[in-house]
Structure 1
Amino acid sequence: MPALPSVLITGASSGIGAVYADRFARRGHDLVLVARDDQRMEALAATLRAETGVSIDVVKADLTQAPDLNAVAGRLREDDTIGVLINNAGAGLSGQFADQSSAAQQNLIALNVSAVVELANAVAPRFAKAGSGAIVNIGSVVGLAPEFGLTTYGATKAFVLFLSQGLAFELGPKGVYVQAVLPSGTRTEIWDRSGADPANLPPLMEVADLVDAALVGFDRREPVTIPPLQDAGLWDAFQGARQAMLPGFAATVPADRYRG
């Protein structure tokens, strides 16, 4: 029986990433854990090694810093035992757009967008050549909801969704599975790190529930998994409406409503 692929998980020291590590370890996959907090990852790795017997590498990296990002990307290019990438590392940003500093927004984009692209780009050629592999990108329902008022954060997550759908279109025929996971509010440390007021937090999903639902979608090879969406037909209708517009984009004259 061929060995199970190793799984590289970013943002693996806590929250969603840590639960993904637990679940894949219990499925028998070796792991590469990536995050800034190596002490928490080492503690998690020690527990999972003792309980599951899998091999776990811990890589301390700040994915907003080019040397660290390049090192992780290099590992993805060169280590052909890694067959699953979980692009989970991300951050939030509280407050209104006009009150956020440019530096804070650029740092958010570096982690939520640039790092996701860099790591997917590092592994995609190898997966495509092998005709197998999986890329899981953690987005957010906020990327579908400008009404929520999290403008830059939502824009980064809209990017993650589009990137995932585009990669699925390109890489799916080559045997590579790409999944976008869109959580709603989930009980993780992202709220504290973003400076959110605890008194104003929305109802939150438990992390284990979120990851377990995402893995059901993973096993079913869903392209987009939205654990909090109770009526899957709404997403199907959204996709249908979007795809119905595609032929109209080829028109070479403006629509009648734009003519004098």
Structure 2
Amino acid sequence: MSIQSSQGVAVVTGASSGIGAVYADRLAKRGYDLVLVARNEERLRALAARLAHETGRSVEPFKADLGRKDDLARLEARLRDDAGITMLVNNAGIGSVASIETANVDEMEAMIFLNITALTRLTYAVAPAFVARGSGTIINISSVVGIAAEMLNGVYSASKSYVLSFGHSLQKDLAEKGVRIQTVLPGATATEFWDVAGYAAQKTASITMSATDLVDAALAGLDQGELVTIPGLQESEDWTRWEADRRALGPRFGNAKPSPRYGLATA
């Protein structure tokens, strides 16, 4: 049983299985007390009991469906009111492999709410206390399809592009105030995500990473100070170069006149 001094309280959403459950295990072993958030109360309580027994940490199951406004509001209130919270892992999300021709638009709207709105509201709920304290960590789980947008469902990919862009903005706004922001971009990972998304076969594909390897790599990236962690990308220089090119392009957008390639007369 662990006797480490407490690192504070880590809140992990989507914690009952897969990536979230591994984060819960690893953070408890690092000395964090936990608030574990998920819809499946039975799994949540079993995980909380196991981790409390194995690590000696305080582990609270918090049953909530973050796709529901009332449940989301309850968790937001907890984040605002609990001064002991030092980390938020925004892991809850859903996906799809359906094209625009076959996907149900109401299901796509629900995906946007969970993957974007809930993540944003939870971040806004916890950030003021972190800024006031001058410390805290927010880990947002994006996806490689946030960059490689054509690989899966377009709404899912766009939602993960949002998480990546949101992370860049948070880093700009909060880094000098002591708040750490890490955006994690998993590739295909062997979790129930694929069952829900409608493509269970992906869990056993040769390119699919285990949730354990994914989280261990992500936490190693956090320890190394990475702002964006892509565990499956073998050469870090590929990301560094791509990101440098993206940032260099920004100043070149600001022109009062259209490009000559459009053939417009300029006065």
TM-score band, normalised by shorter chain: over 0.9
Are residues 1:61 and 2:59 paired?
A: no
**Residue pair 1:113, 1:160 contacting (<8 A) in 2 also:** yes
**Residue pair 2:190, 2:204 contacting (<8 A) in 1 also:** no
Are residues 1:179 and 2:155 paired?
A: no
Q: Kindly state the Cα deviation for residue 126 of structure 1 after the two structures are TM-superposed.
A: 1.1
Q: Kindly state the Cα deviation for residue 220 of structure 1 after the two structures are TM-superposed.
A: 1.6
Task: Choose the corresponding residue for 1:195, options 187, 194, 198.
Answer: 198
Structure 2: gaps (5+ residues): none
Tell me which residue corresponds to 1:22.
25
Residue type of the partner of 1:81? G
**Residue pair 1:142, 1:150 contacting (<8 A) in 2 also:** no
CA distance in 1, matches of 2:198, 2:231: 25
Are residues 1:233 and 2:237 paired?
A: yes
Task: Choose the corresponding residue for 2:120, options 104, 117, 122.
Answer: 117
Q: Give CA-to-partner distance per residue, 1:140-161, whole Å, 9 cap, x none.
A: 0011012314211100000000
Structure 1 225/65 Cα, relative in aligned 2: closer, same or farther at 3 Å? same
Tell me which residue corresponds to 1:207.
211
SS of the residue aligned with 1:136? strand
Tell me which residue corresponds to 2:34.
31
Tell me which residue corresponds to 2:253.
249
CA distance in 2, matches of 1:39, 1:174: 39
CA distance in 2, matches of 1:160, 1:199: 23
Residue type of the partner of 2:21? A
Q: Kindly state the Cα deviation for residue 249 of structure 1 after the two structures are TM-superposed.
A: 2.0
Residue type of the partner of 1:182? L
Alignment of 1:148-163 (within 5 A): 148-163=151-166
SS of the residue aligned with 1:205? coil
**TM-score, with normalisation over the residues of structure 1?**
0.96
SS of the residue aligned with 1:156? helix
Q: Kindly state the Cα deviation for residue 256 of structure 1 after the two structures are TM-superposed.
A: 2.2
Residue type of the partner of 1:245? L
Task: Choose the corresponding residue for 1:79, options 73, 78, 82.
Answer: 82
Q: Kindly state the Cα deviation for residue 255 of structure 1 after the two structures are TM-superposed.
A: 1.9
Structure 1: gaps (5+ residues): none
CA distance in 2, matches of 1:186, 1:242: 27
Q: Give CA-to-partner distance per residue, 1:18-39, whole Å, 9 cap, x none.
A: 0000001111110000000111
CA distance in 1, matches of 2:204, 2:98: 13
Q: Kindly state the Cα deviation for residue 201 of structure 1 after the two structures are TM-superposed.
A: 6.6
Q: CA RMSD in A?
A: 1.5
Identity %: 45
**Residue pair 1:97, 1:151 contacting (<8 A) in 2 also:** yes
**TM-score, with normalisation over the residues of structure 2?**
0.94
CA distance in 2, matches of 1:119, 1:209: 26
CA distance in 1, matches of 2:142, 2:244: 21
Q: Kindly state the Cα deviation for residue 3 of structure 1 after the two structures are TM-superposed.
A: 4.1
Tell me which residue corresponds to 2:49.
46
